[in-house]
């Protein structure tokens, strides 16, 4: 193993971090809704506060709305509205607080507890009311439906149960949307959805995605990575830069993680890397590294949200090599390389040298114009940096 | 046993030198055994000729099948909720550095007090390495303890060397005080009963276990270690390594099960075992995702072409898997090195020792070589054992 780059543990990016407040930080209002006990607060605390799944079992119900501001990367703040799901609260959101709750929403996450026996109809009715209110006040909002607690379903039944629920939710959503679209915006009542007349196809332009999730496996990371994916500012820039870094250092895959949640912010694969048969590897990596963080936190006795590891290297003989390391202030980077000691060492140096390229992840956007020269000019291991950028 | 992901890349190399070494070793060993003749026989040494066997016994729903599935088949603990009650003896084998049989018994049968079937007791206990008795600590355990006492009394007569390992199980969710109370209570009930029957110092050990944390792996580690011939020699190697490399703690892991089969002589420390075990997990996951599928010919051709002009095998510094992780806290590194396709050395290093990695690697190389030789030599000749087991099959129910 090579020596660590002496600078890597220094708080990189601070100089750039100071220059914030130049441009506005993007804020996104995220509503987290669903029946009481469906698991909203649990997933929030796992993803953003590094709770263990088993620590969520003792949580109390959320009273009214639990508002939190999650700083995600340097220039995105999520305003998370964790809305207590007890009926009295729900009614209140839909009536008195309707405009307050449903205006300016960027994303609605609705959580169905797949195990809620008997209550399915009621849960769906509430869901329909919420979609109606959302369409009324925030037409542009994206909707994510999480069919949650899938671990409680027998493994062999999971797919069928999920598909069935997806069909049901899609149908109800379409009904709700079509009704609201026909009404005046000030419609007061909670529209009860009548059976949908089959002759009339509504134009559902609601942007909706559904996921099967459980706090007990990696599925939660897949859903949440999708949720944040579209919210991240400058995504195209990140992707382009990752690609040129990947090509320059001869990598097979690069993943960029947000440092607290370990959600995958962006990824790049070489043509060989794309042949990887493990399609679930991104959420799997989030899950692995996050649970590794827990292990470290338990071992060192440091707080769960503290930084836990700075560097990881793994070389599997002539098969492959990889490293994961602190990258910018807000991110970790994971690089999967072909085998080879020299290639590996220059890749590490070049990744360190590429940090300034990605400083904008830590603060408001800075001009990118000069950055395309960084790698070639880095001057480390000429063999590795010789790869052509395109 | 292809379900284990660690396999694919772990290539094993046996040099001709090792074969020679084996002969030298055998000669030495014979000399030593001759010298030892007058001294006390080693009671702890396994008495079996063939494959050692672990029997999992205990009452219904005590958790036997869960334990076996979690430890040997990597079943996520929460999925054990869906396991069905065992109807006949479930025979499993661990094919690793040492072959071990695991027999999972149905809880509803009592091999000694069964009105319907007479079990061939010798077939069950003859080859045994250890009897693991599982007690559900969240349930009323008096009946289970009585049955265990009865079993011990039976086997003590014919097989006094059998280790009885009592797993006081499902202790997750119990307070520390309560756990210790239960353990004390159960221990006393067994010892009283045995001494009433005139049996003192029976080899009965107690473990507090749960499938929801590392305790079950730790308990199995202890059980398996007792089956390893010349464990002391292994421990000495690791102790030496820790001294020369200034490691805090070193473990030799069976990577498939995360059982540790030896550690150095510093005091036991659950926290160190946990982090090393989890590190093995991390490495296994990366191995599966990135190291278990074949790359294309053109990929390889490009790597071996200009400017490298070398086979990839010659481009790597170490052909065995090696990994290192630096914790932010005090920059304490943890390292892993593959020993062979079953075993890996994992160590927690001292603060700041990452700079000395090249030197450390040299020392590790030497120890890994020593370990490889150790296992080549001690590996039992696994010829007849399988046949014996086959011949005795079918007496389960
Ligand atoms: N089996 C299982 N249980 C879960 C899962 N997610 C959450 N839970 C459990 O569900 C219970 C309720 O979770 P909460 O997160 O408090 O529910 P909530 O949606 O915030 O409820 P309100 O605050 O009342 O709206 C807790 O005991 C969690 O441990 C899951 O994926 N599977
Ligand atoms: N809380 C807890 N539950 C456990 C643990 N181990 C097993 N269980 C649960 O105990 C129940 C019974 O487990 P099994 O493994 O089927 O029990 P068994 O001893 O094989 O039962 P038989 O085959 O009928 O003899 C399952 O629901 C497991 O989930 C544990 O460590 N903690
Ligand atoms: Mg809540
Ligand atoms: Mg069973």
Q: In this structure, what CATH number is given to the domain that contains residue B255? A: 3.30.450.190
Beta-carbon neighbour count of residue B147 at 10 Å? 18
Check pocket membership of A149 for ligand 1, CB cut-off 6 A. yes
Regarding whether B236 and B212 lie in a shared domain, the answer is: no
The pLDDT score that the predictor gives to residue B109 is: 74
Closest residue, chain A, to B289 (C-alpha): A278
- B321 contact residues in A (CB cutoff 8 A): 314-317
In this complex, is the C-beta atom of A338 within 8 Å of any C-beta atom belonging to chain B?
Answer: yes
More confident residue, A190 or B221: B221
The pLDDT score that the predictor gives to residue A66 is: 93
On whether residue B35 sits in a domain, the answer given is no
| Phi (first) and psi of residue A180, to 5 degrees | -65, -40
Domains and CATH numbers, chain A: 2-20+234-389 (3.30.450.190), 26-231 (3.40.50.300)
In this complex, is the C-beta atom of A69 within 8 Å of any C-beta atom belonging to chain B?
Answer: no
Please determine, for residue B353, whether its predicted confidence score (pLDDT) is greater than 90: no
- B318 contact residues in A (CB cutoff 8 A): 315, 317
The pLDDT score that the predictor gives to residue A115 is: 87
Among B60, B65, B66, say which to mutate for ligand 2: greatest number of ligand atoms within 8 Å of CB: B66
By C-alpha distance, which of B360, B355, B381, B372 is closest to B252? Answer: B372
Q: List pLDDT tens digits, range A168-202.
A: 999 999 888 887 777 654 444 444 444 444 444 44
| Cα maximum dimension of chain B | 80
Which residues make beta-bridge pairs with A95? none
Q: What proportion of chain B, given as a percentage, has pLDDT over 70?
A: 77
**Domain final residue pick, B194, B225, B256:** B225
The pLDDT score that the predictor gives to residue A43 is: 94
Least confident of A289-298, B336-345, B372-381: B372-381
Least confident of A148-152, A322-326, B14-18, B198-202: B14-18
Close Cβ partners of B201 (under 8 Å, ≥ 6 residues apart): none
By C-alpha distance, which of A346, A322, A336 is closest to A273? Answer: A336
Regarding whether B249 and B189 lie in a shared domain, the answer is: no
Check pocket membership of A29 for ligand 1, CB cut-off 6 A. no
Regarding whether B250 and B219 lie in a shared domain, the answer is: no
Residue B197 belongs to domain spanning: 53-225
Across the interface, of A291, A313, A317, the residue whose CB is closest to B9 is: A317
By C-alpha distance, which of B174, B177, B180, B189 is closest to B143? Answer: B189
Average pLDDT, chain A: 81
**pLDDT confidence band for B380 (50 / 70 / 90):** low
Q: Which ligand is nearest to the CA of A40?
A: 1
The pLDDT score that the predictor gives to residue A280 is: 93
How far, in Å, CA of A334 to CA of A351, rounded? 10
The pLDDT score that the predictor gives to residue A251 is: 95
Q: Which residues surround ligand 4, an ion (CB under 5 A)?
A: B 64-65, 86
DSSP B167-180: EEE--TTS-HHHHH
**Domain final residue pick, B225, B246, B264:** B225
Regarding whether B68 and B174 lie in a shared domain, the answer is: yes
Residue A381 Rama label (left phi>0; alpha psi -120 to 50; beta): left
Q: Is B11 helix (H, G, I), strand (E, B) or coil?
A: coil
Regarding whether B194 and B67 lie in a shared domain, the answer is: yes
Regarding whether B221 and B85 lie in a shared domain, the answer is: yes
Across the interface, of A253, A298, A340, the residue whose CB is closest to B316 is: A340
How far, in Å, CA of B373 to CA of B367, rounded? 10
**pLDDT confidence band for B329 (50 / 70 / 90):** confident
On whether residue B367 sits in a domain, the answer given is yes
Could you tell me whether strands B321-327 and B333-338 are parallel, antiparallel, or unpaired per DSSP bridges? antiparallel
The pLDDT score that the predictor gives to residue B249 is: 93
Alpha carbon nearest to ligand 1 atom 27, residue: A57
The interface pTM score, or ipTM, of the predicted complex is 0.79
How far, in Å, CA of B80 to CA of B77, rounded? 6
CB-facing half-sphere around the CA of B309: CA atoms within 13 A: 3
Alpha carbon nearest to ligand 2 atom 8, residue: B63
Alpha carbon nearest to ligand 2 atom 26, residue: B81
Regarding whether B195 and B242 lie in a shared domain, the answer is: no
The pLDDT score that the predictor gives to residue B245 is: 86
pTM here is 0.80
Q: What is the CATH number of the domain that holds B197?
A: 3.40.50.300
* Residue position matching structure tokens 């804020």: A27
Q: Which ligand is nearest to the CA of A115?
A: 1
Across the interface, of A216, A288, A317, the residue whose CB is closest to B282 is: A288
Regarding whether B330 and B187 lie in a shared domain, the answer is: no
Regarding whether B313 and B200 lie in a shared domain, the answer is: no
How far, in Å, CA of B223 to CA of B132, rounded? 9
| Cα maximum dimension of chain A | 70
Regarding whether B376 and B344 lie in a shared domain, the answer is: yes
Closest residue, chain A, to B8 (C-alpha): A319
Check pocket membership of A298 for ligand 1, CB cut-off 6 A. no
Alpha carbon nearest to ligand 2 atom 4, residue: B170
CB B169 within 8 A of CB B70: no
**Domain final residue pick, B169, B200, B225:** B225
Regarding whether B194 and B63 lie in a shared domain, the answer is: yes
In this complex, is the C-beta atom of B301 within 8 Å of any C-beta atom belonging to chain A?
Answer: no
Contact A295 B290 (CB under 8 A): no
CB-facing half-sphere around the CA of A180: CA atoms within 13 A: 26
Average pLDDT, chain B: 79
Across the interface, of B278, B320, B354, the residue whose CB is closest to A4 is: B354
Q: Is A216 helix (H, G, I), strand (E, B) or coil?
A: coil
On whether residue B29 sits in a domain, the answer given is no
Q: List pLDDT tens digits, range A1-14.
A: 333 333 333 333 33
**pLDDT confidence band for B312 (50 / 70 / 90):** confident
Across the interface, of A3, A308, A320, the residue whose CB is closest to B355 is: A3
- B79 contact residues in A (CB cutoff 8 A): 155
On whether residue B95 sits in a domain, the answer given is yes
In this complex, is the C-beta atom of B11 within 8 Å of any C-beta atom belonging to chain A?
Answer: yes
Least confident of A83-92, A98-107, B346-355, B372-381: B372-381
- A298 contact residues in B (CB cutoff 8 A): 271, 274-275
Contact B326 A1 (CB under 8 A): no
CB B323 within 8 A of CB B336: yes
Check pocket membership of A308 for ligand 1, CB cut-off 6 A. no
Alpha-carbon torsion (A13, A15, A21, A24), positive or negative? negative
A327 to chain B nearest CA, in Å? 14
Q: List pLDDT tens digits, range A301-360.
A: 888 888 888 889 999 989 999 999 999 988 999 999 999 999 999 999 999 999 888 887
In this complex, is the C-beta atom of A54 within 8 Å of any C-beta atom belonging to chain B?
Answer: yes
How many Cβ pairs within 8 Å bridge chains A and B? 157
Regarding whether B210 and B342 lie in a shared domain, the answer is: no
Please count the structural domains in chain B: 2
Q: List pLDDT tens digits, range B77-104.
A: 888 988 889 988 888 888 888 888 899 9
Please determine, for residue B379, whether its predicted confidence score (pLDDT) is greater than 80: no
């Amino acid at each position: 193993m090579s020596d660590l780059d002496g600078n890597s543990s220094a708080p990189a990016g601070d100089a750039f971090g100071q220059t914030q407040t130049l441009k506005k930080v993007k804020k996104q209002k995220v509503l987290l809704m669903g029946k009481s006990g469906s698991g909203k607060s649990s997933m929030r605390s796992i993803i953003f506060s590094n709770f263990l799944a088993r620590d969520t079992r003792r949580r109390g119900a959320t009273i009214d709305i639990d508002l939190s501001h999650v700083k995600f990367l340097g220039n995105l703040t999520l305003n998370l509205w964790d809305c207590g799901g007890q009926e009295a609260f729900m009614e209140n959101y839909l009536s008195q607080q309707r405009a307050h709750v449903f205006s300016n929403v960027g994303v609605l996450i609705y959580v169905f507890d797949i195990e809620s026996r008997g209550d399915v109809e009621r849960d769906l009715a509430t869901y329909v009311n919420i979609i109606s209110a959302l369409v009324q006040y925030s037409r542009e909002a994206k909707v994510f439906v999480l069919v949650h607690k899938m671990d409680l379903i027998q493994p062999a039944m999971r797919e069928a149960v999920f598909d069935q629920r997806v069909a049901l939710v899609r149908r109800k959503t379409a009904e709700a949307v079509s009704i609201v679209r026909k009404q005046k915006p000030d419609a007061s009542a909670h529209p009860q959805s009548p059976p949908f007349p089959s002759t009339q196809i509504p134009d559902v332009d609601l942007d909706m995605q559904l996921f099967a999730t459980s706090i007990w496996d990696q599925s939660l990371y897949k859903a949440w990575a999708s949720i944040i994916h579209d919210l991240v500012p400058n995504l195209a820039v990140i992707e382009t830069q990752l690609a040129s870094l990947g090509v320059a250092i001869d990598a097979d895959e690069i993943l960029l993680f947000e440092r607290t949640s370990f959600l995958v912010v962006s990824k790049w694969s070489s043509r060989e890397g794309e042949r990887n048969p493990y399609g679930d590897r991104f959420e799997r990596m989030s899950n692995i590294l996050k649970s590794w963080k827990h292990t470290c936190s338990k071992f060192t006795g440091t707080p769960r949200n503290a930084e836990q590891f700075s560097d990881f290297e793994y070389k599997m003989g002539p098969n492959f090599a990889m490293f994961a390391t602190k990258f910018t202030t807000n991110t970790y980077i994971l690089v999967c390389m072909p085998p080879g000691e020299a290639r590996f060492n220059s890749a590490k140096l070049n990744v360190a040298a590429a940090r300034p390229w990605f400083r904008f992840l830590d603060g408001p956007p800075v001009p990118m114009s000069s950055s395309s020269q960084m790698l070639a000019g880095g001057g480390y291991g000429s063999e590795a940096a010789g790869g052509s950028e395109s | 046993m292809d379900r284990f992901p660690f396999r694919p890349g772990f290539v094993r190399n046996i040099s001709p030198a090792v074969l020679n070494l084996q002969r030298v070793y055998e000669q030495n060993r014979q000399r030593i055994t001759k010298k030892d003749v007058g001294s006390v026989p080693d009671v702890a040494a396994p008495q079996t000729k063939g494959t050692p066997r672990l029997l999992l016994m205990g009452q219904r729903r005590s958790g036997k099948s869960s334990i076996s599935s979690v430890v040997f088949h990597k079943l996520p603990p929460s999925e054990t909720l869906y396991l069905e009650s065992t109807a006949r003896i479930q025979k499993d084998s661990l094919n690793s550095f040492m072959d071990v049989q695991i027999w999972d018994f149905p809880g509803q049968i009592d091999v000694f007090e069964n009105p319907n079937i007479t079990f061939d007791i010798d077939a069950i206990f003859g080859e045994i390495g250890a009897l693991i008795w599982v007690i559900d600590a969240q349930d009323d355990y008096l009946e289970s303890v009585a049955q265990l006492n009865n079993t011990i009394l039976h086997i003590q007569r014919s097989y006094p060397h059998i280790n009885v390992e009592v797993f006081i199980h499902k202790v997750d969710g119990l307070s520390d005080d309560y756990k210790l109370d239960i353990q004390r209570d159960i221990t006393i009930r067994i010892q009283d009963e045995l001494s009433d029957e005139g049996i003192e110092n029976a080899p009965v050990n107690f473990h507090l276990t749960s499938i929801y944390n590392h305790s079950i792996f730790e308990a199995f580690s202890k059980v398996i270690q007792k089956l390893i011939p010349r464990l002391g020699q292994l421990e000495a190697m690791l102790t030496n390594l820790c001294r020369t490399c200034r490691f805090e703690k070193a473990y030799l892991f069976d990577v498939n099960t995360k059982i540790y089969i030896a550690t150095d002589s510093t005091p036991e420390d659950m926290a160190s075992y946990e982090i090393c075990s989890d590190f093995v997990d991390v490495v296994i996951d990366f191995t599966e995702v990135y190291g278990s599928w074949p790359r294309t010919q053109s990929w390889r051709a490009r790597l071996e072409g200009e400017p490298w002009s070398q086979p990839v095998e010659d481009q790597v510094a170490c052909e065995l898997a090696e990994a290192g992780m630096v914790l932010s806290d005090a920059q304490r590194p943890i390292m892993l090195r593959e020993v062979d396709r079953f075993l890996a050395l994992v160590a927690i290093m001292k603060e700041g020792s990452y700079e000395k990695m090249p030197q450390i690697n040299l020392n590790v190389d030497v120890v890994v070589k020593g370990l490889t030789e150790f296992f080549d030599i001690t590996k039992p000749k696994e010829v007849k054992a399988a046949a014996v087991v086959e011949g005795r099959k079918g007496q389960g129910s």
